[in-house]
Structure 1
């Protein structure tokens, strides 16, 4: 809009100059026309510099101002011929209106332009009525023809099912918005949205049901998004979104809010903010990477690409190479005796400038920048090396919990990496527990489940971490490759104050025992919670009550002299 109006205003000014030069020297108003010409050039310069930042409604004002400028020039023209030149220029308004605005607004602008130029020519008194009507006819014809061409062109960039922009139109908009973002420095964020289990809808209810879902997604998001957003059907059950003037964090909040308001429409979303040097392909690749992370984490989620700091990624890679990502461990105890039976290994990284970096942040960086395999192997290798003396001190058996990401499990080489590290260290496979989130297993990734089955066959055990935060695990516990349930801390937090929660916990513990599953309660912080766990028969627990995450060497003292042999 800004670029087109800049051209029209600039050429309007140039046309004005030519008209003044060619006007009768005896006519009046040449000075006033010169002022209007100067105004047109100033307007063109302003739009060229700042127009790309303006919201869409601002262009209604710009087009209306053009109508006023042209009508004023026609009235002030020194002779009839010059007035007719300005009358013809009103066709710029019709083209602008029908090119930029919806049909109703475009007709209103054209009606205003026709009325203004008709009135201006009649005020002069030297233009016959039918001549003025002829000018009006030309303006209307150009407007209607422009609308027809716009509609014809839009069919090539519109999805016929949803009425949204299609892939071709999205790619065109992406190039334009990226150029604008580079020029203005304003943020731009891209989002990829994918319907969860859409194939199941088509297979179960038919393609017409699938089409209804796609149309509903289009309607819901169209109403929720700002006016300057570009929302497109990217192909199949995937949608794409461009949010100019919006940061990645703001876009993530918006996407999560909209998906939460329509929870019956299951969607996974990947968000990426444009960064200096990004090409269109790189931006969408980062959004796709975030979408993959959302799916691998359990679907029904929105994730932000962590590429906001390529320097931080380099620092993380250097820290991994230098062994500066450390491993802390937190005790897991037998509830009945209070004896430590295992630990959970937790990665910790302190940046030399930023200080401690949260695991959520640097693990996401690793997942999205090809470092997760190195990080996972480093944590496992460091843990088994540092904990071997403690394992021997407690009798040769010590459970070791290792958190595993969806991207690791989907790596065909992951099972081989794990078994190779265990073989080198001599750590028993039966003492290793792979902790995966409930939502990841709910994602039903065939590659992830297959990897878990291979590792279980090698002797490792599998735990569902954060159990109790998902929705359908209870119905699938007999089919998933799982040995241990780890109750999420949010579930345990109120177990001492809520008899109903305690009863629920006792029921699930009994069910798990009947299925041959062990149960670990996470986030235990009070003696009252510990007493409830003993009463309901929960086998294992971990939390601040028993010990905070700490380096392996510091874990020995709280557990007595038998553990004092821990080495670096």
Structure 2
């Protein structure tokens, strides 16, 4: 339960119970000490207020989280009256002043846990009560009374500043919405509440389509204004229990307690319709039994990624639950290599002499009942069912270890290329995990290439591009895979962090039968050379294709002609048996 609009980060039901109860206990103990140490007599009724107050404080500490807001308001008001009664009944001036000083506790509590108007009301009550006691007693010096008033107001003001800072710590400065940190805390609280109540819970992730183009063409001020307009338009349309946050960059997150997936999808569509001039892509997911907060957001993120990769401008609801293949894949990932998963390595060569200078890591899965499952079948399942992170981690670790084994066994200075899913790249923790894997396996970052597909480039996101930049800063290189099959990568080669172009095999398959395709390939090579990129031709299957590539001066190639993907042990055996001298390595630094 949130107690205060001013300080939602601290005003939780349990924390207000414990803190208010502790302050009440301390006030009661102070009153007891005052009674025991006072030389003069005190009215028995007033003297009993100390033990009663301490007892009430203990009760509040233990069971106060069940007390409604109105109950806390009553307790605060009663506490103020108690302080006044006890101060008035105190037998000495010193005792009265000491008791009035406890008003600082009440002032701090009011500003820590209540909204500003309510807290100001309690402060006024404290000051009026203190003034009434001073006038009624007639023996408290005016200067002392002034000091007490300054003490109470000062404590209240300091706590108001602290409460305000706590309230804005989870607020996005640009839009006024909750920021990512605040959203994550709200999400965890909502998942716990759902576990208790059994009510549905859904989440949605919104991405503003082509937001980067707005910043680039009209400036960041226009982009900021668009973000503010989105927040201002959507906020009034949401139910009171919803939490709308700016998740980062141009991405918004929505939490919908009490809404199932269908209702959340309808809400997302209503929000998209409210901004007809701003394209929006949305991924929606409903909390499934056993889901953690991270699982829920991962499935929403997977749905968003599917929308972005299929053209943007719509909403998609994650189906929820795992398919039989997803369950088997999850079990295989948990079992590791004994679960049938493995990494095979395919050589990358120089066409002029066929010498191996690198390898591409390709994941393979042998299902216990289905046999060999093609990656085209199980990788999309991993992306859809939230398993791509675990699958990627397996591939990176196995690929780095196998590449090191191959390099040490053959004495060749090889480079390693690893394919990366867009969902992995969009994960803020992805670069750190890759760097940790490289460090743990002993494989050098300078001989590692991250492969991203051209479709991922078309669905470019700020986080993905940032991840590529971070990896390149640590020595890794980047390759655009399947280049030439899309339409937008060419215009972004000058802005994306790119070192290699992997030419789609449709180009290679026709270079010996089509003079136009050969000229086109020569033009692509000239483009790559002008941009200081290294070209890798994929799908080489015949000697004629290899000779054509060599005559055109293509620097690197791979395909079944040079070697199929194989386990590292087989590749080591074949290279050792061939007893080939280590060729000059292609200079990765030229990119």
Report the TM-score, using the length of structure 1 for normalisation.
0.50
Residues 109-258 of structure 1: pairs in structure 2 closer than 5 A: 196-197=209-210, 234-237=269-272
Match of 2:489 in 1: 473
Q: Deviation of residue 461 (structure 1)?
A: 0.6
The answer to whether 1:294 aligns with 2:306 is yes
User: What's the C-alpha RMSD, in Å, of the aligned pairs?
Assistant: 4.2
2:343 paired residue among 301, 314, 327: 327
Quickly say closer, same or farther: Cα 1:495–1:529, change in 2 above 3 A. Answer: same
Match of 1:405 in 2: 421
Deviations 1:513-550 (A, max 9, x none): 12111000111111222122112211111111111111
Deviations 1:428-485 (A, max 9, x none): 1111110001121222211011011111010011000010012122222122100000
Whether the 8 Å contact between 2:268 and 2:282 is mirrored in structure 1 is no
Q: Aligned partners of 1:542, 1:531: CA distance in 2, in Å?
A: 13
1:313 paired residue among 319, 326, 351: 326
Q: Which range moved further: 481-490 or 192-201? A: 192-201
Q: Deviation of residue 361 (structure 1)?
A: 2.8
The answer to whether 1:346 aligns with 2:362 is yes
Match of 1:554 in 2: 570
Whether the 8 Å contact between 2:302 and 2:383 is mirrored in structure 1 is no
Q: Deviation of residue 355 (structure 1)?
A: 2.3
Q: Aligned partners of 1:551, 1:379: CA distance in 2, in Å?
A: 13
Match of 2:455 in 1: 439
Match of 1:389 in 2: 405
Whether the 8 Å contact between 1:463 and 1:486 is mirrored in structure 2 is yes
Q: Aligned partners of 1:368, 1:418: CA distance in 2, in Å?
A: 22
Whether the 8 Å contact between 1:289 and 1:368 is mirrored in structure 2 is no
Q: Which range moved further: 429-438 or 298-307? A: 298-307
Q: Aligned partners of 2:468, 2:207: CA distance in 1, in Å?
A: 26
Q: Aligned partners of 1:468, 1:301: CA distance in 2, in Å?
A: 24
Quickly say closer, same or farther: Cα 1:341–1:306, change in 2 above 3 A. Answer: farther
In structure 2, the gaps of 5 or more residues are 1-204, 226-264, 581-591
Quickly say closer, same or farther: Cα 1:355–1:510, change in 2 above 3 A. Answer: same
Quickly say closer, same or farther: Cα 1:233–1:384, change in 2 above 3 A. Answer: closer
Q: Deviation of residue 374 (structure 1)?
A: 1.6
Quickly say closer, same or farther: Cα 1:268–1:234, change in 2 above 3 A. Answer: closer
Match of 2:539 in 1: 523
Whether the 8 Å contact between 1:267 and 1:299 is mirrored in structure 2 is no
Quickly say closer, same or farther: Cα 1:285–1:394, change in 2 above 3 A. Answer: closer
Q: Aligned partners of 1:267, 1:551: CA distance in 2, in Å?
A: 44
Q: Aligned partners of 1:456, 1:415: CA distance in 2, in Å?
A: 10
Report the TM-score, using the length of structure 2 for normalisation.
0.48
Deviations 1:165-184 (A, max 9, x none): xxxxxxxxxxxxxxxxxxxx
Q: Aligned partners of 1:301, 1:550: CA distance in 2, in Å?
A: 41
Give the secondary-structure state (helix, strand or coil) at the position aligned to 2:512: coil
Whether the 8 Å contact between 1:298 and 1:441 is mirrored in structure 2 is no
Deviations 1:308-342 (A, max 9, x none): 85333222122112112111111111111100111
Give the secondary-structure state (helix, strand or coil) at the position aligned to 1:550: coil
Give the secondary-structure state (helix, strand or coil) at the position aligned to 1:525: coil
The answer to whether 1:501 aligns with 2:517 is yes
The answer to whether 1:537 aligns with 2:559 is no
Q: Aligned partners of 1:304, 1:338: CA distance in 2, in Å?
A: 48
Q: Aligned partners of 1:421, 1:285: CA distance in 2, in Å?
A: 25
Match of 1:425 in 2: 441
Q: Aligned partners of 1:304, 1:354: CA distance in 2, in Å?
A: 29
Deviations 1:276-301 (A, max 9, x none): 9999xxxx999955542325647459
In structure 1, the gaps of 5 or more residues are 1-191, 208-229, 240-264
How many residues in Structure 1 have an aligned counterpart in Structure 2? 329
